[in-house]
């Protein structure tokens, strides 16, 4: 069997949620550079989404804009209706957007939990059910995005961390069920990525958080959105055709390191 090991995305069509900023935008850029048409999804910040779409088009491919609140199944449906109408089919769906209220466990209300689970987990199930029919007859790829908080405890991270753990599991179930239809499903688990959201999470503690993480990262820096985009590009391409149901880290080795006898 001869497998095409190029990273080319020429002729492919991708939808990336939360691609107006951060990891999603870097992935949209990487896909576009390799020849894919990209649907840029956002919730509120239209100017950022337009800038991301313009950047995609600068590589000579098509971009469409989709505004959708992922808490709303009706808005998810409208997003897929627009993608179906304008792209006709889909090769890659990357469930990247996330949001939560960062709270200690004992202060979390039901609605904090419900809203986080809707955006991080339930929207992905709904979206996957809409994406799969658009992948019929193609080598479809579903990518989800987890975080270290699925396995490790971080302050104020219980809502999204537990939802990400369920998302990793959902990815495996999707992989098992969709493999016979030629669709792979994998989950990317980034380290601490230098984006708006990590600054929002750490607030005034950001610089301390950053230096603590760097001191425990063998590669000596924070994860950048482009590091995550590189893994997404590989998983979306033909070279990754036989990888499915995996949670794959991209963190410069941060999760390798435990405390040593010298206390560091
Ligand atoms: N940054 C990190 O350190 C880190 C680490 C590990 C994993 N991750 C994961 O990586 C993914 C991307 O993170 P990021 O830091 O790149 O994100 P980001 O910069 O905060 O961007 C978030 C994106 O999601 C959209 N969004 C947020 N809430 C939404 C909602 N309710 N409905 C629809 N869209 C919504 C935003 O659109 P608007 O701007 O229009 O609202 C934006 O496009 C997330 O799944 C995150 O959990 C991040």
Residue 4 binned pLDDT confidence (cut-offs 50, 70, 90): confident
The model's pLDDT over 49-86, given as tens digits with 9 standing for 90+, comes to 999 999 999 999 999 999 999 999 999 999 999 999 99
CA distances from 126 to 133, 136, 210 (A): 12, 17, 35
Band the pLDDT of 261: cuts 50, 70, 90. confident
Q: Point out the ligand 1 atom lying closest to the alpha carbon of residue 160.
A: 47
The reply to whether ligand 1 has any atom less than 6 angstroms from the CB of 255 is: no
Q: Does the pLDDT value for residue 2 go beyond 90?
A: no
Q: Which of 12, 42, 117, 157 is catalytic?
A: 157
Reply yes or no on whether the pLDDT at 163 is more than 70: yes
Q: How far is the CA of 197 from the centre of ligand 1 (A)?
A: 7
Q: Is the CB of 116 under 6 A from ligand 1?
A: no
| Alpha carbon of 67 to ligand 1 centroid (Å) | 14
Q: Ligand 1: which of 15, 45, 48, 98 to mutate, most ligand atoms within 8 Å of CB?
A: 98
Q: Is residue 165 within 8 Å of residue 157, measured between CB atoms?
A: no
Does position 196 have pLDDT exceeding 70, yes or no?
A: yes
Q: How far apart are CA 186 and CA 160, in angstroms?
A: 19
Distance CA 117, CA 106 (A): 17
Q: What integer pLDDT is reported at residue 6 of this predicted model?
A: 85
The model's pTM is 0.97
What average pLDDT is seen over the chain?
96
d(CA 145, CA 249): 10
Report whether pLDDT(209) > 90. yes
Which residue's CA is minimally distant from atom 36 of ligand 1? 18
The per-residue pLDDT for 33 is 98
Domain boundaries, the chain: 13-191+226-249
Q: Is the pLDDT of residue 184 over 70?
A: yes
Q: How many angstroms separate the alpha carbon of residue 100 from the centre of ligand 1? A: 10
Instruction: Read off φ and ψ for residue 143, nearest 5 degrees.
Output: -120, 135
For residue 157 and ligand 1, the question of a CB distance below 6 A is answered with no
Tell me: the pLDDT tens digits for 218-230? Answer: 999 999 999 999 9
Q: Which of 204-208, 219-223, 234-238, 255-259 has the lowest mean pLDDT?
A: 255-259
At residue 263, does pLDDT exceed 70?
no
pLDDT at 228: 98
Ligand 1 neighbour 229 (Cβ under 6 A): no
So what's the pLDDT on residue 82?
98
Which ligand 1 atom lies nearest to the CA of residue 26?
16
Residue with the bigger pLDDT between 141 and 6: it is 141
Structure tokens of 215?
């001191």
Q: What percent of the chain has pLDDT over 90?
A: 94
Write down the CATH number for the domain with range 13-191+226-249. Answer: 3.40.50.720
pLDDT confidence band for 264 (50 / 70 / 90): low
10 is catalytic: no
Give me the pLDDT at residue 5, please. Answer: 83
Q: How confident is the model at residue 260 (pLDDT cuts 50, 70, 90)?
A: confident
Return the higher-pLDDT residue of 262 and 112.
112
């Amino acid at each position: 069997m001869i497998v095409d090991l190029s990273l080319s995305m020429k002729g492919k069509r991708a939808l990336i949620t939360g691609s107006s900023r951060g990891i999603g935008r870097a992935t949209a850029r990487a896909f576009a550079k390799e020849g894919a048409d990209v649907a840029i999804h956002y919730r509120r910040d239209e100017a950022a989404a337009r800038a991301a779409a313009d950047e995609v088009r600068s590589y000579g491919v098509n971009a469409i804009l989709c505004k959708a609140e992922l808490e709303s199944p009706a808005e998810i449906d409208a997003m897929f209706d627009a993608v179906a109408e304008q792209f006709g089919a889909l090769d890659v769906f990357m469930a990247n957007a996330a949001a939560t209220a960062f709270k200690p466990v004992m202060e979390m209300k039901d609605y904090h939990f419900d809203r986080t689970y809707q955006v991080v987990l339930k929207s992905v199930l709904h979206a996957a059910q809409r994406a799969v029919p658009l992948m019929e007859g193609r080598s479809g790829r579903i990518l989800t995005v987890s975080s270290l908080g699925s396995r490790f405890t971080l302050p104020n991270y219980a809502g999204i961390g537990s939802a990400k753990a369920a998302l990793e599991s959902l990815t495996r179930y999707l992989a098992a069920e969709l493999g016979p239809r030629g669709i792979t499903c994998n989950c990317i688990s980034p380290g601490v990525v230098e984006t708006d959201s990590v600054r929002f999470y750490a607030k005034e503690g950001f610089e301390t958080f950053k230096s603590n993480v760097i001191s425990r990262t063998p590669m000596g820096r924070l994860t950048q959105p482009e590091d995550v985009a590189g893994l997404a590009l590989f998983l979306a391409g033909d070279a990754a055709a036989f990888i499915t149901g995996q949670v794959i880290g991209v963190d410069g080795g941060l999760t390798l390191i435990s405390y040593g006898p010298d206390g560091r």
